[in-house]
Amino acid sequence: GQQVMQIPQYQHVQEGEDFTTYCNSSTTLSNIQWYKQRPGGHPVFLIQLVKSGEVKKQKRLTFQFGEAKKNSSLHITATQTTDVGTYFCAGIHNNNDMRFGAGTRLTVKP
Amino acid sequence: NAGVTQTPKFQVLKTGQSMTLQCAQDMNHEYMSWYRQDPGMGLRLIHYSVGAGITDQGEVPNGYNVSRSTTEDFPLRLLSAAPSQTSVYFCASSYNGHTEAFFGQGTRLTVV
């Protein structure tokens, strides 16, 4: 099946440390999206990557899409307490279904 | 602009009861979908629709029915609730399934 694996499941960091979460798909993706879900909230769109090898930045967040369009990563530089939440990748396949990774729950100690 | 509206926010059902989770969007999106979220398992796709009159199964469709009679509405029906269906349910919509998805606030369902 079309699976999207995401690691790690949990990450606890000291404020100011960096954080990275990784996603891997068993099949080539049309594109990949990243979402953030605050505790008790709903997923909120962060970004979409479409092109092979694409890199996009949003302030302290850097998103990468692998050359084979099967893997992606989200890196946060110098985490802040406002970064707390669960980060999900979502792989979109050509048949229009969006499969989410299990998410990485980030906690930040002040 | 309300975006994606889900009702109810909370629901407790007895095993065997049926109910419908409502989802409506006012963005004229063609693509709508239902997910369930369980601890440690992320969001799993239940059913999706690429337009009015068209629905398809996702990853975990058993025990759920959907219909899409209008562009705006995409209700999810539980025919005979089971404790395994205790979860948080999210409805989402997007322009075409390949673009940014907008999520509703979620429905927390408990089946006892």
pLDDT digits (tens, 9 = 90+) for B34-65: 999 998 778 999 999 999 999 999 989 999 99
Q: Is B21 exposed, middle or buried (0-12, 13-18, 19+ CB in 10 A)?
A: buried
pLDDT given at position B53:
96
The whole-angstrom distance between B40's CA and the closest CA on chain A is 6
Which of A34, A92, A98 is best to mutate for the B interface (most B CBs within 10 A)? A98
Nearest-neighbour CA in chain A from B14: distance (Å): 24
Among A30, A45, A101, select the one facing B100 at the smallest CB separation: A45
| Chain mean pLDDT for chain A | 94
Quick one: A5 exposed, middle or buried, by C-beta within 10 A (0-12, 13-18, 19+)? middle
Model confidence over A74-100: pLDDT tens digits? 999 999 999 999 999 999 887 667 889
Q: How far apart are CA A61 and CA A75, in angstroms?
A: 6
Q: How confident is the model at residue B98 (pLDDT cuts 50, 70, 90)?
A: confident
> Are residues A88 and A30 in contact, defined by beta-carbon separation less than 8 angstroms?
no
Task: Give the closest of A43, A92, A102 to B103, CB-based.
Answer: A43
The identity of residue B45, as a single letter, is: L
Position A49 scores a pLDDT of 97
Looking at CA atoms only, how far is residue B100 from chain A in angstroms?
6
Q: What are the chain A neighbours of B105 within 8 Å (beta carbons)?
A: 42
Burial class of residue B1 (count of CB atoms within 10 Å of its CB; 0-12, 13-18, 19+): exposed
